[in-house]
Chains A and B, each alone.
Chain A
Amino acid sequence: MTNKGSNKEEKKFSIWDLPDVPMGEVPPHLQLQRTRVICNPDAPIHTDNISYSGAYASVGVDNSVQPDKFRHNFKVEVVRLNKDDIEFEMVGIDAAIANAFRRILISELPTMAIEKVLVANNTSIVQDEVLAHRLGLIPIKADPRLFEYLSANDTPNEKNTIVFKLHVRCEQGKPRLKVYSKDLTWLPNGSELIKESEKQESKPSTYTSFSCSQASQPEFSNSPICPTDDEIIIAKLGPGQEIELEAHAVKGVGKTHAKWSPVATAWYRMFPEVVLLEDIEDEMAEELKAKCPVGVFDIEDVGKDKRRAKVARSRACTLCRECIRGEGWDKRVALRRVRDHFIFTIESTGALRPEELFTEAVKILEDKCERVITELS
């Protein structure tokens, strides 16, 4: 590639003089793109996953999913767990999978919720439909795995229906009364309302046909079915008003109605990574520390009366982007998200424990995968 007579010195280098592209290893800038979402002040970039297996074939890196590697790298660590919610970290997984769990949790995990309300008497100011809607949204503490779905031409029985009774009355002359979810009483023997039948001679039938009491089943004998929270206000009654109704809860999924969703919400966020691109010292360090409302940065002494900023709690970053706001700060601090590290939060409504919810979600995903496999084969 020698160019005779050329006097441009700077153009003299030859492409062959460049160092070889390291084989078997993704160059750092590509690695950054592959593993991090970079949150610039104007917009996040490199947000999408690179899923094509041959994306880095030119540098000799195989981008395909390798089960062994996955098994080795995958890590789940529970950060916080209590009755209603769980926060755990999931490392080494694709966003699509994490999202699948989230979607399943919200819309495909079954629970029990009140679907049918038989109003015998309602003289309160809450309209029947509104009352029914409110009842429907009350989460019920009953393991949905113990029940079956009620299909259109099924008769309600102890396998697919939970019956509650609500009978509250505010006596004349008494102060106003609040009706709480705890006033819902479980009827383990099924409906008590007599169906008005055309034929008088037949023995009175109710709206359900239970063959045995649900209370006799071992699962419910020591933990009776009830709403998860006692203090949910259903209605307020004035003196002389009365509500008498029966509510039938059935199994369903959040896709059909949000009342069957077992979670208040479930979501994840990618692990925040805050990187100081240069040393930030003294006043600048103070400024940086003061900038962050959640206290991501700390200051360390590096001797010689010098103080330097350091990233202490990058996990706390809410991405308010205060630290990269202002002239030149985006050159000093980089906000990134680790692409395969998820901080997953599940807020249960109380029907199932949050950790159970997640395992259930995994099972459903497994089922789906199996279905795909069987369909394909």
Chain B
Amino acid sequence: MQQADGTQPNVSEQFIDKQKFAAPIKSAVDKYRLLPEFLKVRGLVKQHLDSFNYFVNVGIKKIVRANDRIVSTVDPSLYLRFKDVRIGTPSLIVDGVSEQLSPHMCRLSDLTYAAPILVNIEYIQGSHDQKSKVEKNDVVIGRMPIMLRSCCCVLDGKTEAELARLGECPLDPGGYFIVKGTEKVILIQEQLSKNRIIIDTDKKGNITASVTSSTEATKSKTVIQMEKEKMYLCLNQFTKKIPIMIVLKAMGMESDQEVVQMVGRDPRYSALLLPSIEECASLSIYTSPEALQHLERQESRALPVLRDVFLANVPVHKNNFRPKCLYVAVMLRRMMEAMLNKDAMDDKDYVGNKRLELSGQLISLLFEDLFKSTIADVQKSVDYALQRRNRSSRFDLAQYLVKDFITNGLERTLSTGNWDVKRFKMNRKGMSQVLARLSFISTLGHMTRVSPQFEKSRKVSGPRALQPSQWGMLCPCDTPEGEACGLVKNLALMTHVTTDEEEGPLFSLCYCLGVEDLELLSGEELHTPNSFLVIVNGRILGKHGRPQWQNREFVSVFVNEKRNNVFQRAVYIASDGGRVCRPLVIADKGVSRIKEQHMIELRDGARTFDDFLQEGLIEYLDVNEENNALIALYEGEATPETTHIEIEPFTILGVCAGLIPYPHHNQSPRNTYQCAMGKQAMGNIAYNQLCRMDTLLYLLVYPQRPLLTTKSIELVGYDKLGAGQNATVAVMSYSGYDIEDAIVMNKASLDRGFGRCIVLKKYSAVNQKYDNGASDRILRPGRTEERERVLDDDGLAAPGEIICPGDIYINKEYPIETRGSPKGESCVVDKAALCSDKNNNLCIKFIIRHTRRPEVGDKFSSRHGQKGVCGTIIQQEDLPFSERGICPDLIMNPHGFPSRMTVGKMIELLGSKAGVSKGAFHYGSAFGEPSGHADRVEAISETLVNHGFSYNGKDFIYSGITGCPLQAYIFMGPIYYQKLKHMVLDKMHARGSGPRVMLTRQPTEGRARNGGLRVGEMERDCLIAYGASNLIFERLMLSSDPFEVQVCRVCGLLGYYNHKLRTGICSTCKNGDNISTMKLPYACKLLIQELQSMNIVSRLKLDEP
């Protein structure tokens, strides 16, 4: 319910009265139950699915309808018309037989999960004399990659058992594509909204009004700029800035008075407009033809540009420029308002001025481009064919249609992520990424990520700062550290992103509700005080005297009125796609519409989330609309002015931040760190994790669900696919191996399986077929060599075999495949899979498994951004024990607390301890104390006391070494610890001698190439300061790239060593008389020669020793 002028519409007044009668008491209803319902309906990645579904059901049809004809230019009577288009079920045609595809099949055999694009066509067959109209149905024009769990996917609407049968994890959210066996996500792209006036300042501090117009036909950017008190139009198509008055005059606005009237009769506005009018007059341009002439002198095609490019979002019918003039007037007025009052400036970072571009829109762009190109191609080849003289066969237009162009284009773009669409002047990189499968949470986090449009290197703070308007829409915690900080964002738990809604009905609705058409308004009437401009999706529709609106789902109405300093009186209606919005409970005069009985019905299954929407108990609000709402956090805080009530406060956080217990007690950067680290934690990936063939997979052997959970954890499914273990932590110092956040671990715990993980790596080989018909073949091993030990009779390594470096995996005849696993690692063959690749070659994949127990240097972290490496491993008997015989699994240094201020971690410890003693999971949802979704510390302490623990969680501890009690009570209890993917085994590296780089003959770089350890500049400085000159000499030359050169003492150039004469010879002096032999870094010799090649001679002058 929204009203602008304070009066209550009749219909709802009755409604409220009844409600009041029915439930006069204001009682807080636990609305939490709505959340699981919401997520059941929407899923966590619904925005992707919605967007893709919209494209598949609506968008693709629109595109095809807009370009539905191919007409030959040679013979215009030959045409082909697309009558309908649809996407089939995902399938693959193998040897002429269509085979159903399932996503898991595609993952395993490196296929693209795609469905045929089927069109119904009608075309003219034959030519000249014998033409006939032919209709064909279900012609395949290409294959469209299908988003998992979308309406085209085979997984749509399947039950858990059916999903399991298809090899799919029921908890997997879908929303990604499978392209050539790799899972690809199209990231959500954040953009400035299209077709909206944005008032901003440019670099010089001039006020500008810019509109990025985007219609089906054109995309353009129009900027009106204020410079030296005069206003100019900047347009890319125009080389120069053009005074705005000339533009207005060219568009037929000849009367200066009307311009002033349109902007508003306020003398302040007229004064601001005066310099521009004067400038125009000084050029003696008074009429439209004069202005056009003036423009034509400067630019060519001025009128078409003004009509089609300038403010392209305002349509021009029959050369009627009046809407454009009015639009310019509104722009000018807003600029002047901004000049008079800085508050009227728009904020580019305001979320309401942003639109999120989702996969459906991006694919639709791509498809449109490819489809248009295909049509153009078909036309071209048809014309070519028709021009040829003697055609043997009957001319069939349809046969030119079938091409791989669309299929390949879509596949290539999705797998590279480079959207290079020339037609729309789009060239963006990194739009799609390989889905992170490090842990379940990293997958979810990846699906909700929002990537920015501008480059990350820009050192600006504005777009990186936390915006108040992000509340509830984008997670305030989840952003990466470093260069992308604040630019890459994540959606909050309940965010919904809209898809396009039809504008037509909205227009007619507006007119029905009494909007006066823009055409009928005089300039004067545009800004009369007691009226509101009605702007629908950036188009000025007209004005209205007393706007009253009833909000509906996904159509946002935003009334901008500031009564005190009346400036922008306008009603904004938006139905475009990409707006972020979220559900809120509607309140009437501060009384929630959701009553106890509704929640009971919900619990009993008699009511779904959609019913709540249908009955108008809940509505979606977008960011602009929120400005018109007064939202109470809790029902109890509602006042009569309150229009909406939040469903649950913890939904402002996203998926990753939702894992943190008591995040509202932590210092905020700690939550951000945890959001980054939660994605690196090892655990379970999906229910089908062991059936997958990922290149690298980290799994925890015994993952647990956290003892201290949050509501988000349960909603997301982290309790089913956890990534960590509940470790008993003692906060104390021990042994000195725990400084700088290092942790001390209990060896017995490690023996019993704490932190044990499995690393699975994929190796693959292709059985190549050669052009001459020969092919590689796999042989049965001869069983003579030791390194053939692991091979089975089929020539492939058998699963379960333990392999050592140098063992043969595949006994392929040419070449023999061997892979050396790093030294000291003994791995096991986990799986061997055979499949055929695109060229029908046999492809062999191996999954190699390595089980690791934690060792010194492995990285662990709690859920509060407190990471630390394992400092030492201590025998159980040496560790302290409590009165109940409890030994810690892990000891953490108390110095980790004061500077980090992670109070949440302490509460987690208390809560988990109470949880294990009581035998119940405790909750720590964000901001959950008032609503009962987080246990209060007082309650936890009481539980602890009831079970014989101290209220503060500190225990009386005996030293395991001396046997005496410690001189302090120790804060001890379980904390959920995550094992992060960084393990020493993957990092440790040392080298004696090894490979060198060809060019410089210096040791290679990096662990992967068995490279050397660099003595860098700083190390060198230390050695210089220390005076260890021999050491420098050794490190920098002898151990790196020593080279013996022959130097001519006369000319100082390098000579060579003649092996026949056994002397050095100077090639410049042509003799070997004055040659000295010396050692030089090879890189230096290289430099000298490279300089020589550039005609710079560098001479070595040798002194006598």
Contacts and interface: CB of A to CB of B under 8 A. Distances in A.
Interface of A: 37, 39, 43-45, 47-49, 95-96, 98-100, 102-103, 106-107, 119, 122, 125, 127-130, 133, 137, 254-255, 257-259, 261, 265-270, 293-294, 318-322, 325, 337, 345, 347
Contact of B951 (A49, A103, A107, A322): A322
Interface stretch (B79-87, B543-551, B678-686, B751-759): B751-759
Given A37-B965, A44-B967, A44-B968, 15 more contacts: A39-B956, A43-B968, A44-B965, A45-B967, A49-B964, A107-B875, A107-B877, A129-B851, A268-B958, A269-B883, A293-B948, A294-B948, A318-B884, A320-B948, A320-B949
B751 A259 contact: yes
Nearest to B961: A99
A337 B964 CA distance: 11
B875 A44 contact: no
Contacts of B756: 130, 133
Interface residues of B, number: 43
A322 B941 CA distance: 11
Q: Which of B875, B946, B958, B961 has the most CB of A within 10 A?
A: B958
Contacts of B875: 107, 255
Given A107-B877, A128-B800, A99 B963 contact: yes
Contact of B828 (A96, A128, A257): A128
A335 to B, nearest CB: 9
Interface string B936-960: 0000000011111111000110101
A138 to B, nearest CB: 12
The 9 closest A-B pairs by CB, nearest first: A99-B963, A258-B751, A267-B885, A318-B948, A258-B748, A95-B963, A129-B851, A103-B877, A47-B965
B478 interface: no
A259 B751 CA distance: 7
A26 B828 CA distance: 68
Nearest to A122: B800
16 contacts: A43-B969, A44-B968, A127-B830, A127-B849, A127-B851, A129-B828, A133-B701, A133-B753, A137-B752, A137-B753, A267-B881, A267-B958, A268-B958, A270-B965, A293-B945, A319-B955
A11 to B, nearest CB: 37
B721 to A, nearest CB: 16
A261 B748 CA distance: 9
Contact of B800 (A119, A265, A269, A320): A119
Nearest to B689: A125
B731 to A, nearest CB: 14
B956 A293 contact: no
A322 B944 CA distance: 11
Interface in B756-776: 756, 758
Contacts of A347: 885
B876 interface: yes
B816 interface: no
B401 to A, nearest CB: 48
Contacts of B956: 39, 44, 319
Contacts of B839: none
A320 B963 contact: no
Contacts of B965: 37, 44, 47, 270, 337
Contact of A107 (B753, B849, B876, B947): B876
Contacts of A270: 965
Contact of A103 (B883, B960, B964): B960
A200 to B, nearest CB: 12
Q: Which of B751, B965, B966 has the most CB of A within 10 A?
A: B965
A95 B950 contact: no
A318 B119 CA distance: 78
B747 interface: yes
A267 B968 CA distance: 19
B310 to A, nearest CB: 66
B41 interface: no
Contacts of A319: 883, 950, 955-956
A8 B851 CA distance: 82
B962 interface: yes
Interface string B466-489: 000000000000000000000000
B901 to A, nearest CB: 23
B357 to A, nearest CB: 41
A317 B537 CA distance: 72
Q: Which of B751, B883, B956 has the most CB of A within 10 A?
A: B956
A260 B756 CA distance: 19
A130 B885 contact: no
A99 B961 CA distance: 8
A130 B968 contact: no
B1086 to A, nearest CB: 50
A263 to B, nearest CB: 10
A13 B820 CA distance: 89
A39 B969 CA distance: 9
Contacts of A122: 800
B887 interface: yes
Given A39-B956, A320-B945, A125 B690 contact: yes
Contacts of A125: 690
Given A267-B881, A318-B949, A322-B945, A95 B876 contact: no
B946 A293 contact: yes
Contacts of A269: 883, 958
B875 to A, nearest CB: 6
Contact of A99 (B849, B949, B962): B962
A271 to B, nearest CB: 11
Contacts of A257: 751
Contacts of A106: 748, 876-877
B883 A318 contact: yes
A148 B945 CA distance: 49
Interface string B953-987: 00110101111111111000000000000000000
Nearest to A128: B800
Contacts of A265: 881, 885, 887
Contacts of A129: 828, 849, 851
B956 to A, nearest CB: 5
A116 to B, nearest CB: 13
Contacts of B830: 127
Contacts of A39: 956
Interface string B740-753: 00000001100111
A177 B125 CA distance: 65
Contacts of A49: 964
B962 A44 contact: no
